[in-house]
Structure 1
Amino acid sequence: MAGLPRYLIACLDSGRLAILAIMVSGGIVLQFLACALYNNWWPMLTALMYVVLPMPLMFFAGSNSSSLMSADGDSWVNFTKFLTGVSVVGSIAIPSILKHAGIIGWGALAMELSSFFIFAVVILCFLQTNNDDDYSYF
């Protein structure tokens, strides 16, 4: 993309962020549909895990996000990784346990897991977007 003008690169990057925002909206819609279509609001417990998920990163990771991807780190970085992993596993486990207990049906479970998959893809794409060297405008 080195041969493209700067305004076109900025437009493409804005479009990439807009697509990510639309995907997040789709994940939220699936989350609500899993509850509303089956008239059972227990799957909304997963939304609690989506709220808890970024909290360890905001409180314990600090400003150096590259330390999260390395194998070595201090105890706070390891604690952050652990709490983030617990939140991710909880996002999958809550609908699975609800289905196993017979509280929700297969359709709600499929919508919950597809919502989680969409959120995971968006997060990975956003991290890739932030790691691009061409993303800086200055």
Structure 2
Amino acid sequence: MCWDCWIGSCSSFYAVLAGLAFMFSSSILLQILACAIYGNWWPMLSALMYVLVPMPCLFFGGGSTQFLTSRDGGGWIDAAKFMTGASAVGSIAIPIILRHAHMIETGAMLIEFTSFFIFACTVMCFHRASLEEDW
């Protein structure tokens, strides 16, 4: 491998990594702003789901997201897929339930949805980047 090719692949790796870090930090910033703007910290419950979403990948998928798109698997892989889906749905359901109970404002709920959308895009971009052989 030539020196210029190696430098180009490293710079693209760092660019992808920096982009993913920016997306994740902007999602967390929106999460905090949804709480701080309206003076209510109940929306932070959905931040708990942000912690729970990658756990099945870490425990049952070996740290890889490739098991989520495969058709094969067993009991543990199916359980991991179920837990990933349940925690992703919980990230959407918690702000809706809190809004329905009049515990948060509509604006906070919409900011939470935007934060989840950015977080989901970050996870999908990470999955796409991890499929490449350069990682």
TM-score, length basis structure 2: 0.90
Task: Report whether the alignment pairs 1:11 with 2:11.
Answer: yes
**80-89 or 100-109: which moved more?**
100-109
In 1, Cα distance between the equivalents of 2:51 and 2:118?
16
The aligned residue for residue 50 of structure 1 is: 50
| Letter of the structure 2 residue corresponding to residue 72 of structure 1 | D
- Structure 2: which 5+ residue stretches go unaligned? none
Name the CA distance, whole Å, in 2 between partners of 1:64 and 1:5.
Answer: 27
User: Residue type matched to 1:95 in 2?
Assistant: P
Aligned counterpart, 2:38: 38
Instruction: Tell me: CA distance 1:67–1:7, structure 2 relative to 1, closer, same or farther (3 Å).
Output: same
SS at match of 1:18: helix
- After superposing on structure 2, the runs of 4+ consecutive aligned residues of structure 1 that deviate more than 3 Å are 62-68
Alignment of 1:49-88 (within 5 A): 49-62=49-62, 65-88=65-88
CA positional deviation for 1:82 = 0.5
* Partner Cα separation in structure 1 for residue 8 and residue 34 of structure 2: 39
Rounded Cα–Cα distance in structure 1 between residues aligned with 2:50 and 2:102? 23
Distance in structure 2 (CA, Å) of the matches to 1:40 and 1:113: 16
Structure 1 residues 48-57 or 59-68, which shifts more? 59-68
Give the equivalent residue in structure 1 for 2:124.
Answer: 124
Identity, in percent, stands at 48
Cα distance in 2 for partners of 1:58, 1:92 equals 22
Q: Whole-Å Cα distance in 2 between the matches of residues 5 and 34 of structure 1? A: 43
Alpha-carbon RMSD across the aligned residues, in angstroms, is 1.6
- 1:42 offset after TM fit, Å? 0.4
Separation in structure 1 between the aligned mates of residue 33 and residue 64 of structure 2, nearest angstrom: 37
**In structure 2, do the counterparts of structure 1 residues 57 and 118 end up closer, same or farther at CA, with 3 Å as the change threshold?**
same
Which amino acid is the alignment partner of residue 45 of structure 1?
Answer: L
Structure 1, unaligned runs of 5 or more: none
Q: TM-score if structure 1 supplies the norm length?
A: 0.88
